[in-house]
Amino acid sequence: MPRDNGTPKIIGLAGKIDTSETTIYHRHPSQQPPPQTRLIHSFTRMALHGYTFYHLNQVTAGATLQQAQRQEIIQPKPQSPALLENLTPLRGIGSIFVLIFHLKFQFPAFNEFILVHTHFFHRTYVWVDFFFILSGFVINHVYGTNFDKGITLRKCRTFIVSRFARIYPLHLVTLAAVVGLFYVNIWFFPSPVTYSFYPNNPTWASVLLVHSLNLYNSLSWNIVSWSISTEWVAYLIYPALFVALLRCSTRYILIPISLCIATYAVLAHHYGDLNITYQNGIFRCLAGFILGICMHRLFQKEFLFTVINGSVFIAIILLTCWLIHIPQAWTLDVLATLSSAMLVYVAAVYSGRASIVINNRFTRYIGDMSYSIYMWHNFFILVLMMIFFEEGERLRFGRDLTLYECYFYITLFIVFMIGFSSFSYQYIEKPLRRVAKRLFN
């Protein structure tokens, strides 16, 4: 039996005696390795221990990640989207539909065809209600968090200046362009289409954005700006609306939603549809704007988040299009508007793979310049009417065109509008917005 000579023994992790340490440190001084060798051995051991520790951590982390992924597949946890990526493309698509709604009157063959086969482009004025709902939703999403901490005069002023800089500069430029075109039309064209400019109302009313507050009996100059006039009023009273809706629970939020639906129903029943502009269009705008704020309140509470998926998203898009497609009735206008509110909500919540139907590079591109498309397209329709006007006719750029030729020229006009609106967005809208903010801030 070998004797224990007192040499220390180190028990390794495997339960065996490890004498490697004694081999190094219990030799005679003359047999010790040089310091450089001992330093190399120390670094080698440190590297081996570090690699082992890193490898174990990677294995543990990978197992934890796989377990978390399995749990997420079994029970997904909804998250509140912050960027609302689907809403900007929808705004661009809506602006193109409104453009076609106004352009179709210049193409009789196209106008008659769609009147027989679909009412979609005859009722795309419903997309203006979509804009109002979308505006209330986005305004509350962007500014509501700031107002949630308390409403002050400084915050209200910042909000008003921001919205003024967003809508007013381009409104003023397009107004000046239409008024200038009117005088060019009178001075240089033998058969002026003066009725299409709606010049009877005072210009200062359009400058002050009060031309569509039920004060006059017709539209004024740039006809699409009626909605900008009413939406400006909605911006002015938004802080008060925010306070009124601040504490609404999911149960009580149904009260203002019901009032908005009732407003739509009364207006549509009285006028026969929701194509209401200068005559009580302010109530149409406020109903949509408040409905959008209410939808955002539900969004903040993550209402029905677990139910909304790609199938629901596609179904709401198809439902909205179908309600606009079928023959016109005031009840269908109300239902189409409510479906538009659902579309805003579902598009804000859902961000999955199915959203590529509306959210892609092209739709995001036209979404960024949707305001320019909306504000400029009437100006260029007036240019067409001036150039191709004939005595005794209200239109007629496309009076002798076949249906397929109408398709071609409508597509060409849309492409031109997208190109010009890109220029307007980069070199008119954005620079003037910055100037307005600097001026009033």
Convert the pLDDT of each residue in 156-193 to its tens digit: 888 899 999 999 999 999 999 998 888 887 787 765 66
pLDDT class of 391 with cuts at 50, 70, 90:
low
Higher pLDDT, 375 or 384: 375
Residues ≥6 apart with Cβ < 8 Å to 275: 125
Any domain includes 4: no
Any domain includes 224: yes
pLDDT at 135: 92
Same domain, 23 and 126: no
Same domain, 237 and 348: yes
Distance (Å, rounded) from C-alpha 340 to C-alpha 331?
14
Which has the closest alpha carbon to 93: 309, 427, 373, 313?
373
Any domain includes 1: no
Distance (Å, rounded) from C-alpha 324 to C-alpha 192?
35
Residue 383 and residue 339 in contact, taking contact as beta carbons nearer than 8 Å: no
CA–CA distances in Å: residue 150 to residues 82, 255, 359: 21, 24, 35
CB contact burial 310-321 (16+ within 10 A = b; e otherwise): eebbbebbeebe
Higher pLDDT, 377 or 81: 377
Q: Is the pLDDT confidence value at 257 over 70? A: yes
Backbone angles phi, psi at 394, to 5 degrees: -80, -25
Distance (Å, rounded) from C-alpha 198 to C-alpha 229?
16
DSSP assigned state of 380: H
Same domain, 114 and 240: yes
Per DSSP, helices labelled H in 246-352 are 254-271, 281-300, 310-325, 330-349
pLDDT at 175: 93
pLDDT at 390: 58
Any domain includes 328: yes
pLDDT at 58: 47
Residue 242 and residue 290 in contact, taking contact as beta carbons nearer than 8 Å: no
Any domain includes 198: yes
Q: Is the pLDDT confidence value at 258 over 50? A: yes
Residue 105 and residue 124 in contact, taking contact as beta carbons nearer than 8 Å: no
The encoded tokens of residue 295 equal 């939808």
Tell me the percentage of the chain whose pLDDT exceeds 70.
Answer: 76
Distance (Å, rounded) from C-alpha 294 to C-alpha 73?
31
Residue range 283-337, pLDDT digits in tens: 999 999 999 998 988 888 878 788 888 888 899 999 988 888 887 778 888 999 9
pLDDT at 215: 81
Residue 196: alpha-carbon gap to chain centroid: 32
Same domain, 42 and 94: no
pLDDT at 396: 56
Residue 201 and residue 211 in contact, taking contact as beta carbons nearer than 8 Å: yes
Same domain, 36 and 127: no
Q: Is the pLDDT confidence value at 223 over 60? A: yes
Distance (Å, rounded) from C-alpha 137 to C-alpha 158?
19
Same domain, 315 and 289: yes
Higher pLDDT, 269 or 27: 269
Residue 85 and residue 361 in contact, taking contact as beta carbons nearer than 8 Å: no
pTM as predicted: 0.76
CA angle 400, 403, 406 (to 5 degrees): 75
Query: Considering only 11-20, 46-55, 280-289, which range has the smallest mean pLDDT?
Result: 11-20
Residue range 85-142, pLDDT digits in tens: 888 899 999 999 999 988 888 887 888 888 888 888 888 888 899 999 999 999 988 8
Same domain, 245 and 366: yes
Residues ≥6 apart with Cβ < 8 Å to 424: 170, 369, 372, 376
Query: Which among 43, 73, 103 is the end of a domain?
Result: 73
Q: Which amino acid belongs to residue 382?
A: L
The encoded tokens of residue 235 equal 């911006």
Count the domains in the chain: 2
Q: Is the pLDDT confidence value at 70 over 50? A: no
The encoded tokens of residue 248 equal 């609404």
Residue 292 and residue 136 in contact, taking contact as beta carbons nearer than 8 Å: yes
Same domain, 199 and 342: yes
Distance (Å, rounded) from C-alpha 297 to C-alpha 284?
20
Tell me the percentage of the chain whose pLDDT exceeds 90.
Answer: 24
The encoded tokens of residue 274 equal 């929701």
Residue 182 and residue 199 in contact, taking contact as beta carbons nearer than 8 Å: yes
The count of other CB atoms within 10 Å of the CB of residue 59 is 10
Q: Which amino acid belongs to residue 67?
A: Q
pLDDT at 249: 63
Any domain includes 396: yes
Domain boundaries, position 418 = 87-440
pLDDT class of 20 with cuts at 50, 70, 90:
very low
Distance (Å, rounded) from C-alpha 363 to C-alpha 204?
36
Same domain, 187 and 38: no
Any domain includes 357: yes
The kind and range of the H/E element at 55 are: helix 35-74
Residue 111 and residue 104 in contact, taking contact as beta carbons nearer than 8 Å: yes
Q: Is the pLDDT confidence value at 424 over 90? A: yes
pLDDT at 150: 74
- Dihedral (CA of 387, 393, 397, 400) sign: negative
pLDDT class of 349 with cuts at 50, 70, 90:
confident
Query: With 0-12 CB in 10 A as exposed, 13-18 as middle and 19+ as buried, what is 388?
Result: middle
Q: Is the pLDDT confidence value at 25 over 80? A: no
pLDDT at 243: 76
Same domain, 338 and 387: yes
Residue range 352-383, pLDDT digits in tens: 887 788 888 888 898 888 999 999 999 998 88
pLDDT at 107: 82
Same domain, 118 and 202: yes
Q: Tell me the average pLDDT of the chain.
A: 78
Any domain includes 156: yes
Same domain, 112 and 54: no
The encoded tokens of residue 11 equal 């028990």
Residue 397 and residue 385 in contact, taking contact as beta carbons nearer than 8 Å: yes
E strand intervals along 100-175: none
What separation, in Å, do the N-terminal and C-terminal C-alpha atoms of the chain show? Answer: 96
Q: Is the pLDDT confidence value at 237 over 50? A: yes
- The rounded radius of gyration (Å) of the Cα atoms in the chain is 33
